[in-house]
Chains A and B, each alone.
Chain A
Amino acid sequence: MDVIRRRPMGAGRRPSPARWALIVYCTLVFVFLMLPLIVVFPISFSSAQSLQFPPPGYSLRWYKVYVNDPVWMAATWRSLHIALWTTVLSTVLGTLLAFSIVRGRYPGKGLVNQVATAPLIVPTIIYSIAVYGLFAGLKVIGNWQGIVLGHTVHALPFVVLIVGAALRTFDMAQEQAAEGLGASRLTAIRRVTLPQIRPALISAAFLAFISSFDELVIAMFLGGANVTLPKKMFDNIQLEIEPTVAAVSVLQIVLVTVVLMLAARFGSGARPVA
C-alpha cells in the first residue's frame, strides 16, 4: 500500500537532493551557532600581548593573569556563592509553587500562574531598574544577598515550568496508593512523588545555577562596587578587548558543558521546558 506507507524521513533511506540541501543549510546554521564558542579557545591560549588571530604562539599566560588577579578571583567566588544560594532558594520556592499550581484548585490560581511566569515576559532591564529602585531606597545596594533575591526571581519561572511539567505527567494514583497504605500525605510526597520527579528537580537546579552565574544586568544594578564575574567581564570588554576575558569565557563554556552533561545524565535534560 503505497498511499499510507509511513516514511520516517532520513531514517535509513538515501536522502533526496532536497534533503541534502536542507542538511547543508542547517549545517551552516549550526556552524553559525557554534562559531563564537569555538573562536574563544585559540584566543585564550594566545601568547600575544594583545588580541591577535591567529595567535603567534600558544601559552597559558592569560589563564595565569586570571588566576593571579585578586579582583578576578573575588568576582568569581562572589558569583559562585550567589549562584549556589540562588539555586537553593529558587529550587525550593519554585518547587513549592509548582506543586501549588499543578495540584491546587483555589480561586486566583490562574493569576498565580501568570505571576509565576511573568518574570519571563518582563524584560530583565526593566526588572533590574525596578528592583534597583527598591533596594536603593532600602540602602542594600552592594549586598550579595540582594543579588541572590533578584536572581531568584529571574530563575523562578524556569524551575516552575520544569518541575510543573514533571508534576503534570506524574501519576497521582501512586501517591494515593501510598496514602491508602497508611503513609501520611507528607511521607507519600517525600517517598513516592519527589523521587520520581527528581530528574526535573536536578535539571531545574542546574539551570537555575547557570542562569544566576551568567546573569549580568540584575547584578550590575544591585552589585554596586562588589562586581560579579559577568560584571567584571563586561567592564573589561568595554575598556579594551584583551584575551583575559577569552580565558574566562573558555572556563565558562567548559562549566556550562559539564553542567548540561550532568543535567542530561542525571536530570530531565536541559531544554528550558520539558
Chain B
Amino acid sequence: MSVLTGVLGRRAGRHGPALALGILPIAFLLVLFVYPVLRLLLFSVENGSLAHFEKALTDGLYVQVLLATFEIAIVVAVICLLLGYPVAYLLATASPFWAGFGFALLLLPFWTSVLVRTYAWMIILGRNGIFNRTLLELGIVDQPLALLHNTTGVLIGMVHVLLPYMVFPIYSIMKRVDMQLLSAAEGLGASSAQAFRRIYLPLTLPGVFAGMTLVFIISLGFFITPALLGGGRVMMIGVQVERLVRQYLDWSLAAAVAVILLAVALGVAAFFRRVLKGDLTWT
C-alpha cells in the first residue's frame, strides 16, 4: 500500500486509507470487467486489419441490423417519453400516499425478471393469445392481429422493460421544480396550458434528456426481448452478436460489431453530458 500511495498521492498520508479501501474492488473490476472487455474489443483489429469493421459497416446484413437497432431504440425512447412524462408528472404532484402507491406499481415490474415479463407478453400477444381472443370475441377484429414475432411485439416488450428508466429521471427533476412559478405565471395572466408549455416543460427538459439518453442506450444492447418476442425475425445488434459468437464462432466480427455498438452508446452518453450538460445518475 505504501508504495502505491507514494506513487499516486501527494498527500498520501491523509488519502491513503480511502485509496486502500478501494484497491480490492478496483482490482476486481480491472481483472473481471476492464480486461475482458478490452480484450474483446482488441479482437476486432486482429492482425492490425480493419477488415472486420469494413464488413460490419458495408455488408448489407449488418448495416441493416445496425440501422434497425437504432430505429427501434429511437421509437422505444419516444414511446417511453409519451407514456412516462405524464406518469412522472402525476407521481410528482400526487399526495405522498398515492405517489408511494404509484411507485410500487412501477418498481414491482421493474424488478421482476425480464424473462418472466417477456414470457407473459408471449401469452398475451400470441395468435391465440389473451389479447387476440378478447378482440375476436368482442367482434372488434375478424382476424387475429399479428402482435408476436414481429417488430410490434418487440416494441411492446421493450417499452415495458424501459418505461421506469424514463420515469425515474423525469420524476426527480420534476420534484425540484418550484410550483409557485406556475402560480405566478397564471397570476400574471397565462393560461394553465401556457404556463405548462412556457415554464414547466422547459424546466423539466433535463429530465427528459436524461430519460431519453438512458432508454436509447439500454435499448441498443437488448437481447432477451428481441430474441423471444421477435421470433428470429427482428434482428437487433444484441441478437446478432450472440449468434456470431455461439453459432459462427466469428469473434472478430462480433468484436467489431460490439465496438460500433459501444462507440454509439458512449457517444450518445458523451453528447448528453457535454452538450446537454446532463447527469446520468438519477438522483
Give me the interface of A with B, judged by CB distance under 8 Å. Answer: 2-12, 18, 22-23, 25-26, 29-30, 32-37, 39-40, 43, 51, 53, 93-94, 96-97, 99-101, 103-108, 112, 115-119, 121-127, 129-134, 149-150, 152-153, 156, 161, 165, 185, 207, 210, 213-214, 216-217, 230, 233-234, 237-238, 241, 245-246, 249, 252-253, 256-257, 259-260, 270-274
- The answer on a CB contact under 8 Å between B9 and A107 is yes
A33-B105, A106-B15 are known contacts. Are A115 and B34 too (CB-CB below 8 A)? Answer: yes
Residue ranges of B at the interface with A (Cβ–Cβ < 8 Å): 5, 8-9, 14-15, 17-19, 21-22, 24-26, 28-30, 32-37, 39-40, 43, 83, 86-87, 89-90, 93-95, 98, 102-124, 126, 129-130, 133, 160, 163, 168, 179-180, 182-184, 187-188, 192, 217-218, 220-224, 228, 238, 241-242, 245, 251, 254, 258, 261-262, 265-266, 269, 281-283
Tell whether A4 pairs with B187 under 8 Å between CB atoms, given A30-B102, A101-B22. Answer: yes
B119 touching A249, Cβ below 8 Å:
yes
- B33 with A127: CB separation less than 8 A: yes
> A-B pairs with the 3 shortest C-beta distances?
A123-B221, A100-B22, A104-B18
Please pick, from A101, A129, A270, the residue contacting B107 in the complex, using a CB distance under 8 A: A270
User: B116 to A97, Cβ gap below 8 A?
Assistant: no
* Chain B residues closer than 8 Å to A108, beta-carbon distance: 8
Which of the residues A12, A259, A271 comes within 8 Å of B168, measured between beta carbons? A271
Known: A11-B95, A123-B261. A273 touches B281 (CB 8 A): yes
Contact A237 B86 (CB under 8 A): no
B130 touches A39 (CB 8 A): yes
A246 & B115 in contact (Cβ 8 Å cutoff): no
Q: Smallest CB–CB gap between A5 and chain B, Å?
A: 6
Across the interface, which residues of A come within 8 angstroms of B217, CB to CB?
121
| Contacting pair A5 B22 (CB below 8 A) | no
Query: Could you tell me the distance in whole angstroms from the C-beta of B55 to the nearest C-beta in chain A?
Result: 18
How far, in angstroms, from A127 to B283 measured CA to CA in the complex?
26
Name the residue of chain A whose CB is nearest to the CB of B93: A9
Of B111, B121, B183, the residue contacting A207 (CB under 8 A) is B111
CA–CA, A152 and B130, complex, Å? 38
> Are B18 and A129 touching (Cβ within 8 A)?
no
Are the C-beta atoms of A105 and B160 separated by less than 8 Å? no
B122 with A123: CB separation less than 8 A: no
Shortest distance between the CB of B185 and any CB in chain A (Å): 10
| Cβ contact within 8 Å between B112 and A253 | yes
- Determine if B18 and A122 form an interchain contact, defined as CB atoms under 8 angstroms apart: no
The 9 listed contacts between A and B (C-beta, < 8 Å) are A3-B188, A39-B123, A105-B14, A115-B33, A125-B242, A126-B258, A210-B111, A214-B114, A216-B115
Expressed in whole angstroms, the minimum distance between the Cβ of B174 and any Cβ of chain A is 11
Q: Chain B's nearest CB lies how many Å from the CB of A75?
A: 13
Shortest A118–chain B CB gap in Å is 7
Query: Which residues of A sit under 8 angstroms from B133, Cβ to Cβ?
Result: 53
Q: Are A26 and B86 in contact (CB under 8 A)?
A: yes
Residues of B within 8 A of A214 (CB): 111-115
- B29 near A115 with CB under 8 A, answer yes
State A274–B168 Cα separation when bound (angstroms). Answer: 11
**Alpha-carbon distance A152/B5, docked complex (angstroms):** 27
- A246 and B33 within 8 A (CB): no
Q: How far is the CB of A117 from chain B (nearest CB, A)?
A: 8
- Complexed CA–CA distance, A128 and B8 (Å): 32
Which chain A residues border B32 with CB–CB below 8 Å? Answer: 131, 149-150, 152-153
**Is B9 within 8 A of A272, CB to CB?**
no
Asked whether, in the complex, the Cβ of B221 is within 8 Å of the Cβ of A97, the reply is no
Determine if B228 and A237 form an interchain contact, defined as CB atoms under 8 angstroms apart: yes
Residue of A nearest to B18 (CB): A104
Contacts of A129 in B (CB 8 A): 40, 241-242, 245, 254, 258
B124 touches A35 (CB 8 A): yes
Give the residue of B130, B254, B262 whose beta carbon is less than 8 angstroms from that of A53: B130
The CB with the most chain B CB atoms within 10 A, among A12, A104, A117, is that of A104
B160 contact from A36, A51, A237, A271, Cβ within 8 A: A36
Q: Are B90 and A26 in contact (CB under 8 A)?
A: yes
Pick from B37, B95, B160, B261: contact of A33, CB below 8 A: B160
B282 touches A238 (CB 8 A): no
Interface-central residue, B17, B21, B114, by most chain A CB under 10 Å: B21
Contact of A119 with B33 in the complex, beta carbons under 8 Å? yes
- Determine the residue in chain B with the shortest Cβ distance to A43: B123
> Across the interface, which residues of A come within 8 angstroms of B26, CB to CB?
97, 100, 112, 115
Question: Within the complex, which residue of A12, A127, A210 is in contact with B37, where a contact is CB–CB below 8 Å?
Answer: A127
